[in-house]
């Protein structure tokens, strides 16, 4: 399999997450193997004209703003076959960018208290989740504005504080590209979770047409 060229794009506008530190951890983790070559960036200008050298871009961002050129560059890249992986606060980012959220099919709509909960695998036949058992996570359980009819759900979790079940991972196509979203990722408690790391690696490979 040809090595996946992955860009991990990190925003630092939020105040509740260590995006830079967590993003650097993910970059190192994903580079610990022969199947992915991951780069780390906080330069927004790369979105306008610097994505062509990558198979997939992983967004670990929060709040922020996209210029018209940056949003167009990103969306054109995905439409042309580039992969997009939105992680955790990627759904809470760029709140005025309708095109971005239309591509993602997810918009942050609150979360549970930071707590322990079970992530249930709803589709164990997909390459991202194949052989993956339900697992325990310590994180925020995200609520999303999301159209379930246009994405395929892979994982979900029950929120006992609200007596509700919410999607935790889903994918869909966007033009010629693949889009994957995974709602976990608040801090090191979940970033060091082996099941979380499996989903991160497989999600990046799947978005880049390696799985």
Provide the residue ranges of all domains of the chain, joining segments of one domain with +.
4-107+167-207
What is the tens place of the pLDDT at every residue in 113-150?
999 999 999 999 999 999 999 999 999 999 999 999 99
**What value, to the nearest 5°, has the Cα angle with vertex 41 and ends 89 and 109?**
10
Is 4-107+167-207 a CATH 3.40.50.880 domain? yes
What is the tens place of the pLDDT at every residue in 53-79?
999 999 999 888 999 999 999 999 999
C-alpha dihedral sign at 68, 8, 4, 102: negative
Q: Is 90 exceeded by the pLDDT of residue 188?
A: yes
């Amino acid at each position: 399999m040809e090595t996946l060229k992955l860009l991990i794009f990190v925003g630092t506008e939020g105040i509740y997450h260590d995006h830079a530190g967590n993003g650097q951890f993910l970059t190192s983790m994903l580079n610990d193997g022969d199947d992915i070559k991951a780069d780390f960036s906080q330069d927004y200008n790369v979105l306008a004209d610097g994505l062509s050298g990558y198979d997939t871009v992983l967004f670990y961002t929060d709040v922020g703003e996209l210029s018209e050129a940056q949003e167009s560059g990103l969306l054109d890249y995905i439409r042309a076959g580039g992969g997009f992986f939105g992680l955790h606060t990627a759904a809470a980012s760029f709140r005025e960018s309708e095109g971005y959220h239309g591509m993602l099919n997810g918009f942050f709509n609150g979360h549970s208290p930071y707590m322990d909960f079970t992530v249930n695998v709803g589709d164990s036949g997909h390459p991202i989740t194949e052989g993956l058992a339900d697992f325990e996570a310590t994180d925020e359980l995200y609520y999303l504005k999301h159209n379930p009819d246009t994405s395929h759900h892979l994982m979900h979790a029950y929120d006992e504080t609200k007596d509700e079940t919410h999607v935790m991972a889903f994918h869909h196509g966007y033009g010629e590209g693949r889009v994957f979203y995974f709602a976990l990722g608040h801090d090191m408690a979940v970033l060091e979770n082996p099941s979380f790391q499996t989903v991160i690696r497989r999600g990046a490979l799947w978005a880049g047409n390696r799985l």
